[in-house]
Structure 1
Amino acid sequence: MNFLDTFFNTGVMLRVFPMLLAGLENTLYLAVTTLIIGSIVGIGLCIVRLYAPAPLNYLAVAIIDIFRALPILVVLVLVYYALPFLGIRLSSFVSAVFALSLVLSAFTAEVFRSGVQAIPDGQTEAARSLGLHFPAILWKVILPQALRIAIPPHTSNCVAIAKDTSLASVVAMPDLLKQATDAQALTANPSPLIAAALLYLIILWPAVRLVSMLEKRMSRAR
């Protein structure tokens, strides 16, 4: 077999395309769920780290540091294979969402912390002088400005996590990579992996360009 028949066999790609499409649907569902949960939890961790009393502050710092330091693959394996020894059994999808959301939330917390700390203290003091309580200051003054600062790096983290959803295949999650690997075994041809790589590229390349556009826009705004 020549190079094209081995790696770009269109007949094989078309034959396994329904499998890849099912895997792509699972991957998108996993990515969207993870991004929503991880972003919300990450903002919550950021607020706890900056404004909570000392015990909760230390706990938030520990969670952020641990899950920024641990490889995603290790977190996935621990969640899926170790928790059953504690009597907690999660499906492959829930395990993947849980592990990926923990990692994303840690990075989100740090990104938003940088955004909050970049806001001049005078704005908070001015809001207090107007009689606003802390929840209102946080919601109306701090978070909107921090969001604008944090959007480019947070979007970059989201793209990275969306790409890392491919690691969910190690916990038997039938995502795009898992389906492509199964298709490769069935056809004895690596073309399904190339097709999966092209699908990842089609989805993630626009997201990568979006990150670049947001960074340029923020640079001009500053």
Structure 2
Amino acid sequence: MAERNIPFALVRTPNWDPLRDWHHSSRIFDQIFGMPALMEDFPTFPSSRWPGYLRPSILGTDIMMPHTYPGHTLAQQARALSRQMSSGVSEIKQTQDSWKVSLDVNHFSPEELVVKMKDGVVEISGQHEERKDEHGFISRSFTRKYTLPPTATLEKVTSSLSPEGILTVEAPLTHSAIESTETTIPVTVEKKPAVTQK
């Protein structure tokens, strides 16, 4: 399990209640604690639950009042907020020909990332020493392990880092030598009975 320490700028109002909705059966309690379960909840979630949560350094200085900005910028701010809250989330995709994992590592530089493979397991780790950010000093580290499918070609596993900070590890899959095929078996009619009476 990955461990990440991510700073939050949280401004609370006097009547803020963190346990207000804990009893709702529709809430999903998982590793992303306190975040909305569905993507369509992201635009209204910060203003309804954590007034003042949106960070000026990421989303701009004109959005500290959630209900005052134009509707067309809401989508941009929701995407930025979604990215901020989904940092560290990974996604695995497998098709008939390839296996791919994408991991958000935007807080790390390429020199701080290590991708290793041993016994069919890919290990991705990252670490940076304590550094200053807008809230003080912070250090981060994580380790994720992924088991490759048995048909993965281990010699051709590749990794790449996008400008947005998404690390992708990809492995081609080989097709099994024995493919399942459909065969029609003809029915023959015999002249003599299968069961003989004595």
Which structure has more RCO (C-alpha within 8 Å, separation ≥ 6)? 1
Q: Decide: shared fold, TM above 0.5.
A: no
Q: Which has the higher strand share?
A: 2
Q: TM range, normalised to the smaller chain? A: under 0.3
The two structures have a TM-score, normalised by structure 2, of 0.25
Q: Which has the higher helix share?
A: 1
Which is greater in Rg? 2
The two structures have a TM-score, normalised by structure 1, of 0.23
